[in-house]
Structure 1
Amino acid sequence: MSDTPAFVLPDSLAEIRDEFLELPESDRLQLLLEFSNELPAVSDEVATHPEMTERVAECQSPVYIYLELTDGAVTMHATAPAEAPTTRGFASILAQGIAGLSPEAVLAIPDDFPQSIGLTRVVSPLRISGMTGMLMRAKRQVRTRLAAA
């Protein structure tokens, strides 16, 4: 028996993944663009204190994230420019999919989740790398918040 946590995709992200995979590959980019319009607004605290956020260097566009832990639930705040709709869509997928999860559930998200949603032939590898960077930084921030608690 191993002490390594099982990597299990939370229902929220599994539903998003399935929504993409149910579409023909040619329609998946449109769904990603729809997600870009649904990026949740950051909290007033994060909006007035942008220094709380962390730049996701793997993204060509200026993407900033901040994860908070409140009463055992994770919230991901993300900003991405409207001029970068695919990147903004990826940020939205993660922000919506992570919302309300426990820290342990966030840490158990498979690292290859960005590759699993059926967009690897629709968007550039650089964009997929950006989403992977967002996920890795989100996990690191969760680990940091847990260690500080």
Structure 2
Amino acid sequence: MTLPAPLEELVEDFEAVGTKDKLQLLLELSQELPALPARYADAADSMEQVHECQSPLFLAVEVDDDAERHVHLFFSAPPEAPTTRGFASIMHTGLDGEPAATVLGVPDDFYTALGLTQAVSPLRIRGMAAMLARIKRQVREQVGDGQGGEP
């Protein structure tokens, strides 16, 4: 599996620990999710909701106009939803600032390598998969490539 370096590092971190420590790592990541910029202050009106998540999660994707079309991710999730925030933080840490082609190339099931399927419910895993699907769709829309190939 080919992943961008920051996402690969996270996968390695999760692979290196047991189930209980995976949950602790997810909790720590949830606390690192960056605050939203003012332009996304009203998440419900300015961001896309990921309905598959068990807790309210909103996301926005911005793609630069530079040659590599760098992707920037923004997430809103309540502090009382640490699993959802942890998943969002994984996406942010692993994909924010990466070129569009790199983000589009992330395998749809990369999250299986995190080993979280024994630590969290299948519904929560489905929410993470939906986050990635929405990110990729928004990137494709912004780079003008409806097929998801190289921009």
Seen in structure 2, the aligned counterparts of structure 1 residues 49 and 134 have a Cα distance that, compared at 3 Å, is closer
* Structure 2 residue corresponding to 1:146, chosen from 118, 121, 143: 143
Equivalent residues of 1:61, 1:87 under 8 A apart: yes
Is structure 2 residue 12 aligned with structure 1 residue 18? Answer: yes
Structure 1 residues 98-138: Cα deviation after superposition (integer angstroms, max 9, x where no partner): 11100000000010012220111001111111000000000
Q: Is the 8 A contact 2:43 2:76 kept in 1?
A: no
Which stretches in structure 2 are left out of the alignment for 5+ residues? 146-150
Which position in structure 1 is the counterpart of 2:56?
62
| Amino acid across the alignment from 2:53 | C
Q: Could you say what secondary structure the match of 2:144 adopts?
A: helix
Distance in 2, matches of 1:59 and 1:145, equals 24
Distance 1:84 1:126, change over 3 A: same
Percent identity over the alignment is: 48
Corresponding position: 1:130 with 2:127: yes
Task: Report the more deviating stretch, 43-52 or 26-35.
Answer: 43-52
Task: Assess, with a 3 A threshold, how the Cα gap between structure 1 residues 84 and 48 changes in structure 2: closer, same or farther.
Answer: closer
State yes or no: 1:102 paired with 2:95.
no
1:49/1:127 CA distance change after superposition, 3 Å: closer
Residues 60 and 110 of structure 1: CA distance in aligned 2, closer, same or farther (over 3 Å)? same
Q: Deviations over 1:42-89 (max 9, x none)?
A: 222122575231000111211000000123211100011111100110
Unaligned runs of 5+ in 1: 1-6
1:48 and 1:27 map into 2 onto residues whose CA distance is 34
Q: If the length of structure 1 is used for normalisation, what is the TM-score?
A: 0.90
Match of 1:4 in 2: none
- Stretch moving more, 21-30 or 134-143: 21-30
For residue 129 of structure 1, what is the amino acid of its counterpart?
R
Q: 1:52–1:133: structure 2 CA closer, same or farther, 3 Å change rule?
A: same
Q: CA RMSD in A?
A: 1.7
2:3 equivalent in structure 1? 9
Q: Given the two structures, how large is their TM-score scaled by the length of structure 2? A: 0.89
1:43 aligns with 2:40: no
